[in-house]
Structure 1
Amino acid sequence: MKRVAHVSDLHFGRTDHALRHALIEAVNAAKPDLVAVTGDFTQRARRRQYSAARAFLERIEAPWMAVPGNHDISLDNLWQRFFRPWRRYREFICDDLCPVHVQDGLVVVGLNTVNRFRWQSGRVRWLQMRTVSRVFSEHEGIKVVLAHHPFEQDADIKKTLMRDAERAMERLSDCGADLVLSGHLHRWRTEPFLSAKHGAQVLQVHVGTGLSTRLRGQDNDFALLDLDADTADVTRMVARQGRFVPEGTRHFRVRDGGWVEATGGPVGAPEG
């Protein structure tokens, strides 16, 4: 069994300062094998915001890996955005925009879905998809993909879904992905993908924002995932009175090649 803490959309520069220590404390107390951060470390890609994000990462006791979000490239400095978009991310966070983490029973690949030419919308980089396919073919274990932008979203979301997102999901399914972790919407969603051509073969875990004050109707949260070859227990950790506490766990199992929820209650209902 492997434990992954999934954190996203920290948005240093527009954070709830009271929650910074609480989030670090909760992540470290969970003793994950890996902390996965799916982008938007900063609000406006300023150096001081990146510096605060780096200080946060240095307090994480477990190994961590990350991918950038659209807020991690400059919005208002167009020269920097178009010609050197990843300079500060590479300097402060990670030089690798398609990171790979392999340990016994766990294989994780990060995708850079940020599109410098359309700041809000994401893009699929097919060269990176080839990396996913190669890495997953070379290693055994539960296979996880990190991306800032979701590959599927609810119908009421007004943001534009990535172009070719459904085709990319089919490609991820074909190469053996078990889970996709994402952020961007500041909204929680944990369901098998509906668009995968092989049915619910890939499970999505879409967390909200860990620290931002832009909550969009939901609480600050992150996820704890307990994973093995054919099970995934997903616990939502929610900010309550200055600390992060569990608010229900959903249990998923692989049955006939697809993920199904193993609880007796209705889909989406948290356990007590």
Structure 2
Amino acid sequence: MHRIVHISDLHFGTEHPDLLEPLRNAINGAGADIVAVSGDLTQRARRHQFRAARAFLDSLAPPWISVPGNHDVPLDKLWDRFFRPYARYREVICEDLCPVRRLGPLTLVGLNTVNPHTWQRGRIGLRNVRRACDTLGEAGGIGVVIAHHPFNQLPDSGKALMRHATAAAGALAECGAQVILTGHLHQWRADPFVTRQQDRNLLQVQVGTSLSRRVRGQPNDFAVLDFDDAGVEVRRMAWFAPAFRTADLRRFDRIGPEWRRA
């Protein structure tokens, strides 16, 4: 069995200080092989916010892999936003915006879905999809994609689906992606969805905000994913003071190309 902890939308700058130690303890006590961070590490892409986020990540026991979110590019510094949007992220967090990690049969592929020219709505570029597909095709096994913006969302999400999401999801499913880890909406969701291009299914696990005070009617949370030969168990860990506790537990089995909830 291989275990991934999935966190997102830390938003250092609007973080809840009382949650820092409980979140660190919960993650370090989970026995995970790796922590996947799906963007929005900061609130306003300030250097001190990135440093606080990096210090938190480095305090975790497991290794981590991260991608940027839309809050990780400058909003109010237009020169930086348009001409060097990822400079501070690369300086403090990670030079690679689309990192790759291998964990036994799992291949984790990060995708940068940020569009610096718009504030909220993301986009997924064809070049990044092709590179992810090359990696997944070579690796085989179980492909896990990490991205900030969801590839599929409910109509009441309140935000526009990122550009090219459906086509990109179809291409990723075709080349070996099975699970997508996302954030952005500050809402929990763990469900399979079928792309329009073919009948292969993707399982999207979308966590809310793990640290920010900017919750949207849901508690702060993160996910623990346990992969085995038959499928994956997804556990939602939500904040119920004074600790993060199990709020939802779902089992998904892989039947041929399809995910089915047990």
**In 1: Cα distance, 2:204 partner to 2:230 partner:** 15
What SS class does the counterpart of residue 156 from structure 1 fall into?
Answer: helix
**Deviations 1:209-235, CA, capped at 9 Å, x for gaps:** 000111110000000000134311000
Counterpart position of 1:106: 106
Identify unmatched segments of 5+ residues in structure 2: none
What SS class does the counterpart of residue 137 from structure 1 fall into?
Answer: helix
Residue 48, structure 1, aligned to residue 48, structure 2: yes
Q: Quote the offset at 1:158 in angstroms.
A: 1.8
Distance 1:195 1:40, change over 3 A: same
Letter in 2 for 1:230: A
**In 1: Cα distance, 2:160 partner to 2:19 partner:** 30
Identify unmatched segments of 5+ residues in structure 1: 263-272
Counterpart position of 2:174: 174
What SS class does the counterpart of residue 40 from structure 1 fall into?
Answer: coil
Counterpart position of 1:267: none
Residue 12, structure 1, aligned to residue 12, structure 2: yes
**In 2: Cα distance, 1:143 partner to 1:196 partner:** 19
Counterpart position of 1:149: 149
Deviates more, 1:1-10 or 1:153-162: 153-162
**In 1: Cα distance, 2:256 partner to 2:96 partner:** 36
Counterpart position of 1:127: 127
Contact 2:209 2:215 in 1 (8 A): yes
Q: How does 1:132-211 map to 2 (within 5 A)?
A: 132-199=132-199, 201-211=201-211
Residue 76, structure 1, aligned to residue 84, structure 2: no
Q: Quote the offset at 1:196 in angstroms.
A: 4.6
Q: Quote the offset at 1:25 in angstroms.
A: 0.6
**In 2: Cα distance, 1:99 partner to 1:203 partner:** 20
Q: Identity of aligned pairs, percent?
A: 50
Letter in 1 for 2:83: F
Counterpart position of 1:233: 233
Residue 67, structure 1, aligned to residue 63, structure 2: no
Aligned residues: 262
Q: Quote the offset at 1:19 in angstroms.
A: 0.3
Structure 1 segments, 4+ long, off by >4 Å, are: none
Contact 1:253 1:261 in 2 (8 A): yes
**In 1: Cα distance, 2:256 partner to 2:140 partner:** 20
**In 1: Cα distance, 2:207 partner to 2:88 partner:** 25
What SS class does the counterpart of residue 27 from structure 1 fall into?
Answer: helix
Q: Quote the offset at 1:200 in angstroms.
A: 5.4
Contact 2:232 2:251 in 1 (8 A): yes
Counterpart position of 1:27: 27
Counterpart position of 2:219: 219
Residue 249, structure 1, aligned to residue 254, structure 2: no
Q: Quote the offset at 1:29 in angstroms.
A: 0.3
Distance 1:196 1:5, change over 3 A: farther
**In 2: Cα distance, 1:74 partner to 1:20 partner:** 24
**In 1: Cα distance, 2:157 partner to 2:237 partner:** 23
**In 1: Cα distance, 2:147 partner to 2:87 partner:** 19
Letter in 2 for 1:75: L
**In 1: Cα distance, 2:147 partner to 2:236 partner:** 19
Q: Quote the offset at 1:195 in angstroms.
A: 3.0
Q: Quote the offset at 1:163 in angstroms.
A: 1.4
Contact 1:32 1:62 in 2 (8 A): yes
Letter in 2 for 1:71: H
**In 2: Cα distance, 1:139 partner to 1:125 partner:** 21
What SS class does the counterpart of residue 144 from structure 1 fall into?
Answer: strand
**In 2: Cα distance, 1:230 partner to 1:69 partner:** 32
Contact 1:34 1:65 in 2 (8 A): yes
- When normalised by structure 2's length, the TM-score is 0.97
Residue 87, structure 1, aligned to residue 92, structure 2: no
What SS class does the counterpart of residue 193 from structure 1 fall into?
Answer: strand
Contact 1:196 1:202 in 2 (8 A): no
Deviates more, 1:139-148 or 1:105-114: 139-148
